[in-house]
Amino acid sequence: MADVKKDGKYKGIALPVILSANDLLDGAVVFLTQAGWTFDPAKALVGEDADAAEAMEARGLAAAAANLVVDPYLVAVRLDEAGFPRATHFREAIRQAGPSTHPELGKQAEFRSQVRG
């Protein structure tokens, strides 16, 4: 069972969370799903409690050990009205939105409208 305080956090990270990492081959930001990894943050698996966050973290570490991703970590999110897991920290919001120099380019450009809402 995961160590969680009554303040709704897991290891100091506010719940709910998603798991973010970088694809090992091309460096693109990816998000953990039920079936693997996706570029689409809308499809990210959301951990609502400490046990789910702990399981997601373990899956990320296993994927890193298998050389699928680099630097998996939990990201605090809030679910908007449509259920989109919106990152609560500005750094993670930028990672969700994709490249910031040319917003019309990049693998995540098609998800940009969902991320910026």
Q: What is the mean pLDDT of residues 32-37?
A: 97
pLDDT tens per residue, range 62-90 = 999 999 999 999 999 999 999 999 999 98
Question: What is the model's pLDDT at position 52?
Answer: 96
Q: 38: which residues sit within 8 A by CB, 6+ positions away? A: 30, 31, 44
Element (H, E) at 116: helix 112-116
Q: For residue 38, count CB atoms less than 10 angstroms from its CB and return exposed for 0-12, middle for 13-18, buried for 19 or more.
A: middle
DSSP state of 90: H
Q: Which domain holds residue 77?
A: 9-116
- 7 SS3 class: coil
DSSP string, 26-89: T--EEEE-SSSEES-GGG---B-SHHHHHHHHHHHHHHHHTTSEEEEEEEEEEE-TT--EEESS
Q: Are 19 and 69 spatial neighbours (Cβ–Cβ below 8 Å)?
A: no
Task: Tell me which amino acid residue 38 is.
Answer: T
What domain count does the chain have? Answer: 1
pLDDT tens per residue, range 7-33 = 788 988 999 999 999 999 988 899 999
User: Does residue 91 register a pLDDT over 80?
Assistant: yes
What proportion of the chain, given as a percentage, has pLDDT over 70?
A: 78
Task: Report the predicted TM-score, pTM, of the whole model to 2 decimal places.
Answer: 0.81
**Average pLDDT over the chain, rounded to an integer:** 86
Indicate whether 67 belongs to any domain.
yes
